[in-house]
Amino acid sequence: MEIQIAVAKTNKYAVSESGDTLEVIERPNGGVSVVLADGQTSGKAAKAISSMVVRKVIALLAEGVRDGAAARAASDYLYTEKNGKVSATLNILSADLQTNTIVIARNNHCPIYVARGEMIETLISEAPAIGTSRNIRPDISEIPLEGGTTVVMFTDGVLHAGERYGESLDIPTILGSFLEDQEPPAQVIADSLLAQAIQLDQNRPNDDMSVVVLRVLHHKQDLIRRMIVRLPVGPDENEF
């Protein structure tokens, strides 16, 4: 098998800094985790919050702490640092080679979509944002790590894309159309979902947008690990 993780993200229109923070880390006992946080409000203040949360989670995962415990600790940390006056959404998506499972920890009102074969499941149970009180727990889902599995997670800028124009992004339909092809790359799916979300906001994103796609392919091309990062900079970074 081969695990692919792809990210596509953009800032709120005319805001220089995204309030979404995302990091990828190799798990100490095998596998990889993606940590995605969205700080309250937008811009530099939100970035400071989400960065603080992600750094805390990454440090704990690197020490071998389990995903759910890392999320709870990050929530308590944010609550202590900001006196319960600031919140953030948090997702941890892990391919855990020790348990041979995909672990999804969610403190986010945004759903997560899991496709296995022709079936697309929506994870949308109650999962409060972190930081507003002590002992906030994430919603935890665990599924087998097997070929043909695709997981899509995102921040609320994607969820609410097009609302001001009376439209919305139908992610299950888009995902289903991609999976009719033979194992499309995760990056193609992430790029397409983000592009359509931006288009629904008339090319002026109403909020920060982040999309993460994890795919488990049936085959592996070789034994080389790869990661590619593209970071556009300059005055035209909010033009599409």
Query: Which of 51, 25, 47, 22 shows the shortest CA–CA distance to 36?
Result: 22
Low-confidence stretches of the chain (pLDDT < 50) are 239-240
Determine contact, residues 204/223, Cβ cutoff 8 Å.
no
pLDDT at 240: 40
pLDDT at 237: 52
pLDDT at 235: 63
pTM (2 decimals)?
0.93
pLDDT at 41: 82
pLDDT at 228: 87
pLDDT at 236: 57
Question: What 3-state class would DSSP assign to 45?
Answer: helix
Domains and their CATH numbers in the chain: 2-217 (3.60.40.10)
Contacts 24+ apart (CB under 8 A), 77-86: 77/52, 77/53, 78/49, 78/52, 78/53, 78/130, 78/131, 79/130, 79/131, 79/132, 79/133, 79/134, 79/136, 81/52, 82/49, 82/131, 84/131, 84/132, 84/133, 86/39, 86/40, 86/49, 86/131
d(CA 129, CA 109): 8
* pLDDT tens column, 140-193: 999 999 999 999 999 999 999 999 999 999 999 999 999 887 778 999 999 999
